[in-house]
Structure 1
Amino acid sequence: MHVCQILKSKSPELISVTPDEPMVEVLRLFRDNNIGFVVVSRSPGECLGTLSERDCCNAVAEYGTEAPIMRVADIMNRSVATCSTEDFLPFVMAIMTERRTRHVLVMDGGAAVGVVSIGDVVKHRLDEALRNEQALHEYIAGTAHH
């Protein structure tokens, strides 16, 4: 399965924040939108970095009570894991495993167009497993269509 097919099944909105935003506001955005990852940018499609829940936890561990008021630019991840819309899901899974990340930013040309999360990977793999199981049941029952 191509990444572009995964993006079609998701909300097309890529949520971003500015580098000057305080971390606490990003945490509120995470809570209000039930997400755990944002792109840091000043304009649509641009990616200066990313910020995840894990990045926020690491900031609190390192900076303590100062972390919530720190600017996103001071704690964001600048080494962003990316893939293209034409990459296949196993390639994205390998990136997640190798980079130990739960989110991979999807790029089309030089523009950020979406994100694939570990939840997306699990959903698509589960759907695939259920389809295979159904096909096997139909084959065993003799009701499979050739």
Structure 2
Amino acid sequence: MHVRQILNSKSPEIVSVTPNHTMVEVLRLFRENNIGFVIVARYPGECLGTVSERDCCNAVAKYGTQAPAMRVSDIMSQRVATCSTDDLLPLVMAIMTERRTRHVLVMEGDNIAGIVSIGDVVKYRLEEAMRTEQDLQDYICGVSYH
């Protein structure tokens, strides 16, 4: 499966924040949108970095009670994991494993096409496993084979 196929089945909305947002504002966005990852940008299509739940946890561990009021620019990750819309799902899984991240920014040339999360990967791998299981059961039972 290509990354493009995953993006086609998802909402095209990409949530972003500015570098001046605070960590608390980002956490509220996470809760309101049921997400755990945002892009940091000054204008649409830009990517200065990203902020994940893990970045927020690391900030609290490092800065303590000061962390919630800190600016996104101080806690964001600037080393962003990316892939292409033409990449296959196993490559995205390898990127997630190697980079120890749950989100990969999907690029189409210089444009941000979307985000693939570990939840998206699990969903599609589960569907694939269930289809394979059903195909094997059909084969064993002689269903749809003549």
SS in 2 for 1:143: coil
Partner of 2:104: 104
Distance 2:145 2:100 in 1: 41
Aligned length: 146
Identity of aligned residues (%): 73
Using the size of structure 1 for normalisation, the TM-score is: 0.97
Distance 1:25 1:145 in 2: 57
**2:114 aligned with 1:141, yes or no?**
no
**2:130 aligned with 1:130, yes or no?**
yes
Q: After the TM superposition, list the runs of 4 or more consecutive aligned residues in structure 1 that deviate by more than 3 angstroms.
A: none
Cα displacement string for residues 35-61 of structure 1 (whole angstroms, at most 9, x for unaligned residues) = 000000111111100000000000000
Distance 1:18 1:5 in 2: 29
Unaligned runs of 5+ in 2: none
**2:74 aligned with 1:74, yes or no?**
yes
1:14-33 aligned at under 5 Å gives the runs 14-33=14-33
Using the size of structure 2 for normalisation, the TM-score is: 0.97
RMSD: 1.0
Distance 1:63 1:132 in 2: 48
Distance 1:39 1:28 in 2: 15
Contact (CA 8 Å) 1:135, 1:144: kept in 2 or not?
A: no
Letter aligned with residue 99 of structure 2: R
